[in-house]
Structure 1
Amino acid sequence: MTDNKLPLRAKVATSVSKTAAALSRAAGRGDGSVIGGWIGLKIDPDLLAHLAAGRAIALISGTNGKTTTTRLTAAAMGVLGDVATNSLGANMPTGHTSALAKAGHTTYAVLEVDEHYLRQVVEATNPKVIALLNLSRDQLDRAKEVAMMAALWRDALRGVDTHIVANADDPMVTWAARDAASVTWVASGQRWHDDSWVCPECGAHIERDGDDWWCVAGDLRRPAPTWSVADGAVIDPAGVAHPVSLQLPGRVNVANAATALAVATQFGVRVTDALPRLSSVASIAGRYATVERDGRTIRLLLAKNPAGWLEAFDMAEDAPTLLSINARDPDGLDTSWLYDVDFSPLRGRRVLITGDRAMDLAVRLEVNAIPFEHVTSFDRALNAVPPGRLEVISNYTAFQDIRAELDRVN
């Protein structure tokens, strides 16, 4: 909806939202996406719906990979023109509202959505496409149990006239999406299986054989995917392999690119037009960033739950590796999830640990028989390793702490 078609209250709320966000940025208090949206919604509780009206919208949700897939999808859809997006990860309605207000009138929007808010955002934005990436355990002290989350998604999609792009390799996602009116299945992969051994429909065992999976008692099984990934290429529904050249590491990001392309084609984007735009996407809010400092090449990898740590270990090179763990509010206060992570891929590497909860991590590494060195700060970690490569894997606030330290020096 263009600004001149907005109701008066929505116009005022939009203006105040943009002003508040700009003041927050000017004061160095962040990008303003949360405070701007919060104030706008206080003035007009229906502001998100007003700003979404008239736009063709894609929503991206899941436990892991939302921010990256959102950025890739927005890049792919840039073929069509300007795309509004919450590319820095403010993925609740306040962030969506702020992103749409800041963008002004655009025909298209791609919004990352926290999995708990999917129903609310679907109702407000009437999206054309919803991409469902994965579901796994996350922030155990406040996040919902995985099967419960899948049930909430299933309810949110019931009766909605929206095309779904869903991960065929995740039984929880498949169950949530399988009754939707229109679904495109993507073989995105699922390295982490520990949250999907039991059928969410009947409680029976999920059996696996290679990429295939099925419920031993019911009719839930892996659907035939129309998009897949093989040897660094995305295979489209016609069976054509499109080599993908990404600046982002790991097979998981090729899979994220496949989902982005599957979404973009629903808006009429040709794969061949989108591919060059995907290759332009580099660091995502500092994730995967590589920084040179004091003769060391430092790469930052964010891992906030067991599934994310498994992928991070695959991406990290065989080099000294710093692990940093906090347990502040954005991370979740419960660190027991560390015992769900298999740290054995780190054997043979030099491992350093730091962060507010380094001792929790130390005990976990002892259990896994992984030798480590404790350092009390990121700066001391740098001084402890020789010139060369340093891989850094950390959860959310630890990641932000390290980014701030690197920004302060550079």
Structure 2
Amino acid sequence: MAGNSDPLTPRAKLAVTAGKAVAAASRAAGRGSGSVIGGRVALKLDPDLLARLAQNLDVVLVSATNGKTTTTRLIAEALRAAGPVVSNALGANMPAGITSALAGGSDAKFGVIEVDEKYLAGVARDTDPKCIALLNLSRDQLDRAAETRMLAENWREGLAGSKAVVVANADDPLVVWAASSSANVVWVAAGQMWKDDAWSCPSCGGVMQRPGDDWYCGECGFRRPTPSWALSGDHVLDPHGSAWPIHLQLPGRANKANAASSAAVAAVFGVPPQVALERMYQVQAVAGRYDVVQFQDRDLRLLLAKNPAGWLETFSLIDPPPTPVILSVNARGADGTDTSWLWDVDYTRLTGHPIFVIGDRKLDLAVRLEVANQSFQVCDNLDQAVQLAPPGRIEVIANYTAFQDLRRRVGN
């Protein structure tokens, strides 16, 4: 990755300056961070800007349907033990947002970049990553995302011939199939709670056999690889068989799995597991997720769940009944406008919780809860739901734009 200390041509410098100016204007107008519009302007002026910005960095790309933003944060914290990091930590994960993030990190040694699943192959071509972390693939944004096997095929074709070390979840057959085209794969047993996108073999279409934690195709022999890293309870097992305790402030099994994958990534850059895992303790919340906020004299914990896999993991970490739960679902562009995924979520796991339903598509959710035999109340807004909720901390679970609405309302 060595090279001239200032890789930017005059045109690239102009593009960076213009992008920053547009982003600042967008922020001043109250239209969000401005990172996406700034990146778009910069790439218009210099289409090769992303490649130029990445050429002096050791780059890690993180892609998945669930856990990208959190894992990106955990890896960034771990790698700071070895040098300055630039990262798109707020989740603007398409080329414009990534370009904007890298433009702000002129002194960085490492680039830790979250990438939308559909853009992974192109961003990998531009940034020549040293490492790529692949966590899972599941149904999401049904109206705009290709079905999961097509995404896995894009990854498989896009990563073939890449020199990157691919750190991949051995428990997700789609991820294993996608990563198997790579020459250098580090397998992590990170677990897979949601299995409903992987009952047919991605290689031949045969039926997957799933005895215990193992999986294999009875027809073509495609099977789970032997992992060299594993999540085991509250520890990460490294390739030498040593068990390292996981220190996290973030809740739930899914985040321990993210930490296990992050430790495997950190090791690629020479950061030992003990150091990496201790540094991950710094992360308290990720773009508002898991934050406990005060609103109307109540404690609300804000949880993001945007597809069936995410809802399943979230249900496993909420406080037990009779903790009140507020559910909020929208179906705007960024969420995907198709809400049929609600029927894939097992809402019987909420039995015993007082449930309050808000959001643009609260009636879709109400029908789903009715069929799941849950008792619930439909409310006009967050304020009303909080007033009606019985005492104690409230768990608030929302999908993507509903989560942004909530954060604005509670001033977070």
TM-score, structure 1 as length reference: 0.97
Helix, strand or coil for the counterpart of 1:111? strand
Contact 1:84/1:110, CA 8 A, preserved across alignment = yes
Cα distance in 2 for partners of 1:292, 1:359 equals 27
Matched, 1:251 2:253: yes
Contact 2:7/2:56, CA 8 A, preserved across alignment = no
Partner of 1:138: 140
Partner of 2:227: 225
Query: Which amino acid letter does the alignment assign opposite residue 261 of structure 2?
Result: T
Residue 149 (structure 1) aligned to one of 148, 151, 154: 151
| Unaligned 5+ runs, structure 2 | none
Matched, 1:396 2:408: no
Contact 1:2/1:104, CA 8 A, preserved across alignment = no
Helix, strand or coil for the counterpart of 1:164? strand
Deviations, residues 378-398 of structure 1 (Å, cap 9, x unaligned): 000111113311000110111
Partner of 2:308: 306
Contact 2:7/2:52, CA 8 A, preserved across alignment = no
Cα distance in 2 for partners of 1:381, 1:202 equals 48
Deviations, residues 54-86 of structure 1 (Å, cap 9, x unaligned): 211000001000000000000000001110100
Contact 2:7/2:55, CA 8 A, preserved across alignment = no
Contact 1:134/1:170, CA 8 A, preserved across alignment = yes
Cα distance in 2 for partners of 1:365, 1:133 equals 30
Partner of 2:205: 203
**1:26-37 alignment to 2 at 5 Å?**
26-37=28-39
Query: Which amino acid letter does the alignment assign opposite residue 132 of structure 2?
Result: I
Deviates more, 1:48-57 or 1:25-34: 25-34
Partner of 2:276: 274
TM-score, structure 2 as length reference: 0.97
Cα distance in 1 for partners of 2:6, 2:223 equals 49
Deviations, residues 119-168 of structure 1 (Å, cap 9, x unaligned): 11011000000000000011111110111111010001111111100000
Contact 2:65/2:140, CA 8 A, preserved across alignment = yes
Helix, strand or coil for the counterpart of 1:147? helix
Deviations, residues 70-124 of structure 1 (Å, cap 9, x unaligned): 0000000000111010000000000110001011231110000000001110110
Cα distance in 2 for partners of 1:387, 1:399 equals 22
Residue 341 (structure 1) aligned to one of 341, 345, 362: 345
Partner of 2:24: 22
Contact 1:118/1:153, CA 8 A, preserved across alignment = yes
**1:183-198 alignment to 2 at 5 Å?**
183-198=185-200
Helix, strand or coil for the counterpart of 1:388? coil
Displacement, 1:180? Answer: 1.0
Displacement, 1:3? Answer: 7.3
Moved over 4 A (4+): none
Cα distance in 2 for partners of 1:187, 1:74 equals 21
Contact 1:141/1:333, CA 8 A, preserved across alignment = yes
Deviations, residues 333-376 of structure 1 (Å, cap 9, x unaligned): 11011001111110011111011110000110111111111111
| Root mean square deviation of aligned Cα | 1.2
| Unaligned 5+ runs, structure 1 | none
Deviations, residues 256-293 of structure 1 (Å, cap 9, x unaligned): 00111111110111112222210000110011111123
Partner of 2:386: 382
**1:144-183 alignment to 2 at 5 Å?**
144-183=146-185
Deviations, residues 290-332 of structure 1 (Å, cap 9, x unaligned): 1123332100110110001001101111210000111111111
Deviates more, 1:366-375 or 1:25-34: 25-34
Cα distance in 1 for partners of 2:7, 2:298 equals 54
Matched, 1:370 2:371: no
Query: Which amino acid letter does the alignment assign opposite residue 78 of structure 1?
Result: R
Query: Which amino acid letter does the alignment assign opposite residue 149 of structure 1?
Result: L
Contact 1:61/1:114, CA 8 A, preserved across alignment = yes
Displacement, 1:2? Answer: 6.9
Residue 118 (structure 1) aligned to one of 113, 117, 120: 120
